[in-house]
Structure formats: structure tokens, C-alpha cells
């Protein structure tokens, strides 16, 4: 009875709401510790270069300078974030070794008594760099003769021996031969920076019992702890990560970037070390949503049914893959869209370029597919002479339909959602579309078919 309900049906204050409106919420940078040091990073000014020398002499003379860390100081310098879920190979460097692959790549970590001293010392580190040709476009990166970003001779991430994620259903080429219309499009999206108002960062604090407590705003607390343990070659139990208070993430704080080097610096100095991204680092160095290029070729029947869809996608992973291989897998599973298409071919490539590495952002792999496919649907509607609502209704997938990645659709709701949307925007649908449901095709006498 409603008298027993104290939460359901009530407006309840968020558990962290009072902290947020009073300013009492403790974000990582609101903490400070006696003797805390500040870490600032020396970064590559070039997109692609060989490192031939690092001179720390002037930096070391800056008052307040404490320590500089290079790749030689990192116990397990080569790692890959998704190694924890079996993704290979290890390909990214905590600190660059002999080559930098994107502008902003971390080379030397400088630790000092104050932020100002750390920034001054960073400005005085001298780098000898031999510039190399760079590539910034996914298709250029796949052409013979392109500058190679990886260490394995080509710019492609390999999925168990395959250069791309592949989805095959039916026979697209034969279906193209039967189609009344061929509709093609190429869709490009830009990298997008998540731009949380709070920048990425952490404070690593040595404890008296030999453990390290790391206060961090990562979105992936255990992920970061486990990768840090691997990089520092210590048992996981030596690390205690405290987090969960994040000033905006949106996928921009799921990479393991600041914790390993800050914790290493705390180990080497036996003092708390704070490493926080500046705003320009957050915008220009931290990972973004990938840029994508998506080619779509559809074979369409006279009345607007898509009988074949061929998608070739290129995700710009930037210099390191981070979470992009996973994004691409999700993309491939969704790249035909929520439509019942009997012949589908999807090739989705994760391509390396010398751009800022891309990683996770909301919608992760699927958002750009939606953009490409929905513009494509409007194109089809225009070509075939069918209303854009109708084109989507008649192609919508329903329960029991075989999806291109060989799963039968369950809980399909596209038709019902579009019907509700039409009501909301005041668009009158014709009776036959109003009568449609997502129930399986063989059960519905009026259902369209492939």
C-alpha cells in the first residue's frame, strides 16, 4: 500500500547531492598531504619522431626539482590497457622509449616541490628528436608506403590474425545484382573530446605499511589498479585505489594514464605525488572519441526494402589502440543498423595514425554508425521515393529476425518506439504503420518480409 512506501513515488535527494551543492564533496584534487610533490610531464612536440637524446641537466638545477623518471625507470613499461581481457599485443609505453608517435606523448616525468617548479623544470628538459613522416588519415595509413606507426610493420590492429572485424550474412554481391537501386554514401566523423570540467588526475600516497593509496578520478578503478600493478610489477594487494568521485568522465577517464607513473614517482621519492592534467592536456593529449570513416553500399528493392548492405568502416585509433579494438567490435555488431537485411557484409578496421590516441566516449563505437546509417536511410527514402518514416518501418527488425552477427533478435522495439515518437512530434502515421508490431514475422499476416 502507498502508506508503506517511503522512497517509491517520492522525490529523493541524491546521496552525493548535498556534498555537491555545499562544495564539501572531495574530488581527488581537493585533498592534500604533507610533503606532497607535483608531477608534470615532458611531452613530444612532434607528431612522429625518433628520440636521440634527453638532457636533464638544466632541469635538475631548477630550485625545487626532485626527480625525473624516464622509460628506464618503469619496471614494465610496455603495456596495453585491454591486456586484462586478453587483448594483445602490449603496445603502449608509460614513457616513450626510442620513438614518439603522437604530439603530446609522454617522455619524461618531472617531479618537484611545487607545480611552478615542475613546470619550469619541464620547460628546461632538452629533447633531441629526429622528425619522421607522419600520417593523419585512416585510408592513407593503409596505403603502401605510408608511415608506419606500430612496431609490427603495418597500421592495422589484428583480431586473431584478421586485419579487421568481419561480419557476413548471405551474399551481398548476388543481392546487389538483383537490386533495383544501389545507394552509396561515405560518412566521416571527427574526433570528439569528452571535455569534463574536472581534468584527469590522481594523488599517489605511500603508506607506513608499504602499501600505496592512490586517490584517483578514473572511471575504471579496478582496471586502473590491475594495470598499475602490472606496470609496477607489484602484487595488486600493495595498491589501494580510492575513487568513485569523478567530475565528469563520459569515457574520458577510462584509460590508465596517470596512476602508474604517479605511483612509481611516489615509490621512488617515498612522498605523496600529485599528477593532474592541465586543461590543455585534457583537450589535446587525453584520448578522444575516434574519428571514423564509414562507406555504406545498399542494394534496395523498388518498394524500399534493403536487400543487401555492405559496410566498410575505418576507426582512427590514433597512435595507440587503448579501447578502440573493443569499440570496433561493438561497432561491427551494430553496423547494419536495427534493420532486417538478409545479406550483410561488414569489414571494420582499427587503424593506427599519428593522431592523439582515441578511446572511449559515450555510445562507444555505435554512435557514429547510427549517424551514418540514418543519413543513409534518408538517402534511400529520397532515391526510392518513399517517406523517411515508412522506409524505416518496413525495414525495421522484429523478434526472431536473424541479425548479421548470427543472433536472433529478441525484445525488438524499434517499431513501437517510432510509433511513440510519431505521437510525440505530432506526425500522423498511416494505418498500416500504426498496425505494425515487433512480433515475429511468421506470426503477423500483414508483416513485410525480406
Partner 1 sequence: MTVKAYRLPRSLPEALGLLEEHGPELLVMAGGTVAMPLINEGISLPEAVMGLRLAGLDGLERTGDRLRIGATATLTQLLNQDAVPMLREAARNTASWSIRNMGTVGGNLFTPPPGGDVAVALLALDASVTLASTRGDRVLPLADFLTGFMRNELAEDELLVEIGVPIRSEATAYLKLGRKHANTPAVVTVAVRLEWRRERVADARIALGAVGPHAIRAREAEALLIGTTLEAEAIAAAADAATQGCEPFTDGISTEWYRRRMVGLFVRRALEQLTPGTREGGR
Partner 2 sequence: MASTIISFELGDREVEVMVRPMTTLQAVLRNQLGLTATKDGCRQGGCGSCTVLVNGEPMLSCLLPVEDVAGKRVTTLESITPAEGLHPIQRAFLDAHALQCGYCTPGMVMVSKALLDHDPAPSDDSILQALTGNICRCTGYRPIVEAVRRAAGAMSGSAGEQAR
Q: Which of 219, 306, 305 is nearest to 257 (CA)?
A: 219
**Nearer Cβ to partner 1, position 100 or 122?**
122
Per rule CB under 8 A, is residue 272 in the interface with partner 2? Answer: no
The item of partner 1, partner 2, none sharing an interface with residue 17, based on CB under 5 to 8 Å by kind, is partner 2
Q: Which of 83, 170, 191, 248 binds partner 2 (CB under 8 A)?
A: 248
Per rule CB under 8 A, is residue 243 in the interface with partner 2? Answer: no
- Cβ of residue 296: shortest distance to partner 2, in angstroms? 31
Tell me what percent of the chain is helix, strand and coil, each rounded to the nearest 5: 30, 25, 45
Q: Cα–Cα distance between 194 and 405 in angstroms, integer?
A: 30
The residues near 60 (Cβ < 8 Å, ≥ 6 apart) are 68, 121
**Nearer Cβ to partner 2, position 23 or 210?**
23
- Cβ of residue 41: shortest distance to partner 1, in angstroms? 12
Asked whether the bond before 326 is cis by omega within 30 degrees of 0, the reply is no
Secondary structure of residue 243 in the 3-state scheme? coil
- Cβ of residue 309: shortest distance to partner 2, in angstroms? 34
Per rule CB under 8 A, is residue 284 in the interface with partner 2? Answer: no
Q: Cα–Cα distance between 264 and 233 in angstroms, integer?
A: 10
Looking from the CA of 401 toward its CB, the CA atoms found within 13 Å total: 26
**Nearer Cβ to partner 1, position 117 or 415?**
117
Per rule CB under 8 A, is residue 246 in the interface with partner 2? Answer: yes
**Nearer Cβ to partner 1, position 78 or 119?**
119
Q: Which of 120, 198, 255, 401 binds partner 2 (CB under 8 A)?
A: 198
**Residue 153 region, left (φ>0) first, then alpha (ψ -120 to 50), else beta?**
left
In this chain, which stretch among 65-73, 189-197, 347-355, 434-442 interacts with partner 2, using CB under 8 A?
189-197
Q: Which of 2, 15, 22, 233 binds partner 2 (CB under 8 A)?
A: 22
Cell 545479406 locates to 343
Per-residue CA distances from 383 to 133, 178, 300, 310, 375 (Å): 43, 17, 10, 18, 12
Q: Which of 147, 196, 206, 337 binds partner 2 (CB under 8 A)?
A: 196
Angle separating helix axes 388-395 and 367-384, nearest 10 degrees: 110
Q: What are phi and psi of 347, to 5 degrees?
A: -120, 120
The item of partner 2, partner 1, none sharing an interface with residue 151, based on CB under 5 to 8 Å by kind, is none
Burial class (CB in 10 A: 0-12, 13-18, 19+), 97: middle
Core vs surface per residue 395-432: b (16+ CB within 10 A) or e: bbbbbbbbbbbeeebeebebbeebbeebeeeeeebeee
Cell readout for 162 is 584478421
Q: Which residues bind partner 1 (CB under 8 A)?
A: 116, 119-120, 123, 278, 280
The item of partner 2, partner 1, none sharing an interface with residue 35, based on CB under 5 to 8 Å by kind, is none
Q: Cα–Cα distance between 122 and 67 in angstroms, integer?
A: 11
Asked whether the bond before 336 is cis by omega within 30 degrees of 0, the reply is no
The item of partner 2, partner 1, none sharing an interface with residue 430, based on CB under 5 to 8 Å by kind, is none
Per rule CB under 8 A, is residue 61 in the interface with partner 2? Answer: no
Instruction: List the Cα angle 11/15/16 in 5-degree steps.
Output: 125
Per rule CB under 8 A, is residue 35 in the interface with partner 2? Answer: no
- Cβ of residue 323: shortest distance to partner 2, in angstroms? 20
In this chain, which stretch among 13-21, 42-50, 336-344, 431-439 interacts with partner 2, using CB under 8 A?
13-21
Cell readout for 365 is 563505437
The item of partner 1, partner 2, none sharing an interface with residue 123, based on CB under 5 to 8 Å by kind, is partner 1
Residues forming a β-bridge with 352: 318
**Nearer Cβ to partner 2, position 20 or 126?**
20
Per rule CB under 8 A, is residue 6 in the interface with partner 2? Answer: no
The item of partner 1, partner 2, none sharing an interface with residue 250, based on CB under 5 to 8 Å by kind, is partner 2
Per rule CB under 8 A, is residue 34 in the interface with partner 2? Answer: no
List interacting residues with partner 2 (CB under 8 A): 11, 13-14, 16-27, 29-30, 32, 194-199, 246-250, 278-279
Amino acid at each position: 500500500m502507498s502508506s508503506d512506501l517511503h522512497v517509491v513515488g517520492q522525490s529523493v535527494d541524491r546521496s552525493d547531492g548535498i556534498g555537491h551543492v555545499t562544495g564539501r564533496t572531495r574530488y581527488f584534487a581537493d585533498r592534500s598531504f604533507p610533503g606532497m610533490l607535483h608531477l608534470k610531464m615532458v611531452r613530444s612536440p612532434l607528431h612522429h619522431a625518433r628520440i636521440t637524446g634527453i638532457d636533464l641537466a638544466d632541469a635538475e638545477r631548477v630550485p625545487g626539482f626532485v626527480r625525473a623518471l624516464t622509460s628506464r625507470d618503469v619496471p614494465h613499461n610496455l603495456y596495453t590497457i585491454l591486456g586484462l581481457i586478453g587483448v594483445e599485443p602490449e603496445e603502449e609505453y608509460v614513457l616513450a622509449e626510442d620513438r614518439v608517435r603522437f604530439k603530446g606523448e609522454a617522455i619524461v616525468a618531472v617531479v618537484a616541490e611545487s607545480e611552478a617548479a615542475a613546470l619550469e623544470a619541464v620547460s628546461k628538459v632538452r629533447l633531441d628528436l629526429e622528425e619522421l613522416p607522419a600520417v593523419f588519415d585512416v585510408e592513407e595509413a593503409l596505403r603502401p608506403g605510408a608511415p608506419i606507426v606500430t612496431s609490427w610493420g603495418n597500421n592495422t590492429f589484428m583480431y586473431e590474425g584478421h586485419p579487421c572485424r568481419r561480419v557476413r550474412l548471405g551474399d551481398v554481391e548476388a543481392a546487389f545484382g538483383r537490386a533495383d537501386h544501389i545507394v552509396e554514401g561515405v560518412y566521416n566523423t571527427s574526433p570528439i573530446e569528452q571535455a569534463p570540467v574536472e581534468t584527469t588526475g590522481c594523488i599517489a600516497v605511500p603508506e607506513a605499511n608499504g602499501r600505496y593509496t592512490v586517490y584517483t578520478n578514473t572511471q575504471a578503478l579496478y582496471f586502473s589498479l590491475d594495470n598499475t600493478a602490472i606496470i609496477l610489477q607489484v602484487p595488486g594487494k600493495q595498491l589501494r585505489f580510492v575513487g568513485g568521485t569523478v567530475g565528469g568522465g563520459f569515457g574520458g577517464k577510462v584509460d590508465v594514464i596517470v596512476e602508474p607513473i604517479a605511483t612509481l614517482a611516489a615509490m621512488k621519492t617515498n612522498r605523496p605525488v600529485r599528477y593532474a592534467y592541465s586543461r590543455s592536456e585534457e583537450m589535446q593529449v587525453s584520448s578522444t572519441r575516434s574519428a571514423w570513416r564509414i562507406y555504406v553500399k545498399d542494394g534496395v528493392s523498388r518498394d524500399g526494402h534493403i536487400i543487401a548492405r555492405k559496410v566498410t568502416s575505418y576507426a582512427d585509433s590514433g597512435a595507440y589502440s587503448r579501447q578502440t579494438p573493443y569499440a570496433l567490435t561493438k561497432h561491427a555488431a551494430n553496423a547494419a543498423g536495427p534493420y532486417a537485411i538478409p545479406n550483410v557484409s561488414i569489414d571494420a578496421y582499427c587503424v593506427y595514425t599519428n593522431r592523439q590516441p582515441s578511446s572511449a566516449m559515450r555510445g562507444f563505437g555505435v554512435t557514429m554508425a547510427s549517424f551514418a546509417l540514418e543519413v543513409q536511410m534518408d538517402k534511400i527514402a529520397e532515391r526510392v521515393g518513399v517517406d523517411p518514416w515508412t522506409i524505416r518501418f518496413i525495414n525495421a527488425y522484429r523478434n526472431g529476425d536473424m541479425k548479421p552477427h548470427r543472433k536472433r533478435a529478441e525484445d525488438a522495439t524499434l517499431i513501437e518506439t517510432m510509433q511513440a515518437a510519431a505521437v510525440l512530434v505530432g506526425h500522423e502515421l498511416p494505418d498500416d504503420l500504426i498496425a505494425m508490431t515487433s512480433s515475429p514475422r511468421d506470426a503477423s499476416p500483414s508483416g513485410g518480409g525480406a
